[in-house]
Amino acid sequence: MPDRDEVSTGAFKASTTINVLAGIWLFLSPWVYRNYMAHDAWNSWVVGFLIAIFALIHYSNPMSARFLSYCNMLLGAWTFASPWIYNYTADMGRFVNSLCVGVIVFIFAVAAASAVGQRDTASLQD
């Protein structure tokens, strides 16, 4: 049976990997939805890039870069709110995409931050 440290390491790796993939998807989505010429396409490029980079850095250095999960939580919330900020709620594909990516990034950033926190707590108890 795996111990608590192995479980939290697995949860951390899965959470950060999902956020890397979500960031890449968000970056590519303006081309998929054919709105790369829209005035708000830059938002998907910048936010998607930052989500992926923050998750990669956090993956490579979990203890010293935990605050990057908090940054991704904010970026997830921003992505969720962006259809109303940039007024594209009528474009159903992009609208649902932003909501789903925002929720996924937020939830898995919380999971990554808490998995690292559980590892920190477990190491203090040893």
pLDDT beneath 70, residues of the chain: 1-8, 64-65, 117-126
The reported pTM is 0.84
Q: Where are the alpha helices (DSSP H) in 33-66?
A: 41-60
Q: pLDDT tens digit string along 81-100?
A: 999 999 999 999 999 999 99
- Domain segments of the chain as ranges: 4-125
Residues 34-44 as b/e (b if ≥16 CB within 10 A, e otherwise) read: ebeebeebebb
